[in-house]
């Protein structure tokens, strides 16, 4: 009787999780040697494989490049038809194979060794040709594929992927790779924006609502309405920040006052408002907004009023 769909899915997850957990036993001297070999190399890490292992190799290359370890992908089949030329003298080569006995791998291994490059084998069969011939071996043996026929690469490719991530993270730490370094390689993504986008990049296109302390209630309402930011700054004649008036301040004032004919901006404003400098990171501005549970911040430098940063500016740029 066939298992239910959900039970099959749960068994797949359990088997792959078991394979990943089993990698802990393979973080050994050879793993440290592999990390140190790549870290100490003056060249790149060239990663190769065949079939599903080649796809895993491409993902590991992408992870390494984005985290500060220059890497190249070389398909094992193409390597023996000209792509071996991409391997330079100082490069380290990583070959990935579950069986370690694929015909393409058997052809490629002696060619790499003849070049004199350090050869790391990531292999799921420690008695294989690749395991025996590698200078350093990363063991990714799994007890069983998640495939019901124990054939399709599932648990084994997951183990390869996780071993590659472990390698990349160790290299990140050795290289002192920081969040700001990460942003340099991801300037177009939301993660990168969190690391380089500043307040000055966000508020510059906004209207700049402001009134003097002596402005009438009508002038305050018109300024808030026209500038459409739900707020106006109150400044003195030298453009120094004196306070802030939000549309919420107006509503609360109207609820409390029966005679509003003589009310001025100075009667409504909240003194000493929260301000932020233009060179502050946008993500830090978001933390300010959240910590004070507000939607706008006055942008000012040395007390000089520059404009308004609205939470919608952060939403627009994907910071939230």
Q: Residues forming the annotated binding site for Zn(2+)?
A: 75
In this structure, what are the phi and psi dihedrals at residue 241, rounded to the nearest 5 degrees? -65, 125
Q: For residue 181, give the nearest of 72, 281, 279, 66 by alpha carbon.
A: 66
Q: For residue 126, give the nearest of 28, 253, 216, 54 by alpha carbon.
A: 28
Strand partners, 136: 120
Going from the C-alpha of 140 to that of each of 23, 32, 143, the distances in angstroms are 7, 15, 10
Q: What does the buried/exposed string (b/e) look like for 91-110 if buried means 16 or more CB atoms within 10 Å of the residue's CB?
A: bbbbbbbbebebebbeebbe
Tell me the DSSP string of 205-248: TS---EE-TT-BHHHHHHHHHHHTSSEEEEE-TT-BEEEEEEHH
| DSSP H or E stretch at residue 122 | strand 118-123
Q: Which residue positions form the known binding site?
A: 75
Taking the CA atoms of residue 183, residue 185, residue 190 and residue 194 in that order, the dihedral angle to the nearest 10 degrees is 0
Strand 275-276, strand 241-246: pairing: unpaired
Find the length of the chain. 320
């Amino acid at each position: 009787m066939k298992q239910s769909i959900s039970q099959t899915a749960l068994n797949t997850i359990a088997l792959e999780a078991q394979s990943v957990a089993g990698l802990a036993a393979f973080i050994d001297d050879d793993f440290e040697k592999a990390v140190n070999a790549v870290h100490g190399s003056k060249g790149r890490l060239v990663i190769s494989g065949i079939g599903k292992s080649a796809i895993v190799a491409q993902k590991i290359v992408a992870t390494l490049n984005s985290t500060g370890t220059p890497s190249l992908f070389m398909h094992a089949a193409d390597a023996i038809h000209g792509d071996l030329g991409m391997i330079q003298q100082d490069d380290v080569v990583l070959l990935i194979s579950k069986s370690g006995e694929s015909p393409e791998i058997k052809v490629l291994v002696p060619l790499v060794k003849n070049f004199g490059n350090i050869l790391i084998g990531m292999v799921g069969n420690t008695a294989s040709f690749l395991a025996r011939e590698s200078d350093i071996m990363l063991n990714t043996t799994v007890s069983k594929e998640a495939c019901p026929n124990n054939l399709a690469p599932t648990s084994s490719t997951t183990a390869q992927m996780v071993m590659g991530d472990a390698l990349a993270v160790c290299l990140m730490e050795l290289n002192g790779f920081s969040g700001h370094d990460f942003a340099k390689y991801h300037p177009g993504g939301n993660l990168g924006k969190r690391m380089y986008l500043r307040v000055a990049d966000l508020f510059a296109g906004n209207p700049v609502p402001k009134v003097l302390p002596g402005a009438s209630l009508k002038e305050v309402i018109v300024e808030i309405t026209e500038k459409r930011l739900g707020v106006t700054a109150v400044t003195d004649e030298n453009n120094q920040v004196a306070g802030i008036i939000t549309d919420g301040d107006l509503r609360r004032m109207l609820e409390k006052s029966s005679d509003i004919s003589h009310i001025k901006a100075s009667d409504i404003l909240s003194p000493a408002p929260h301000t932020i400098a233009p060179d502050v990171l946008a993500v830090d501005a978001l933390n300010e907004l959240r910590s004070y549970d507000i939607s706008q911040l006055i942008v000012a430098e040395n007390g000089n009023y520059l404009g308004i940063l609205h939470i919608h500016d952060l939403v627009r740029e994907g910071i939230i």
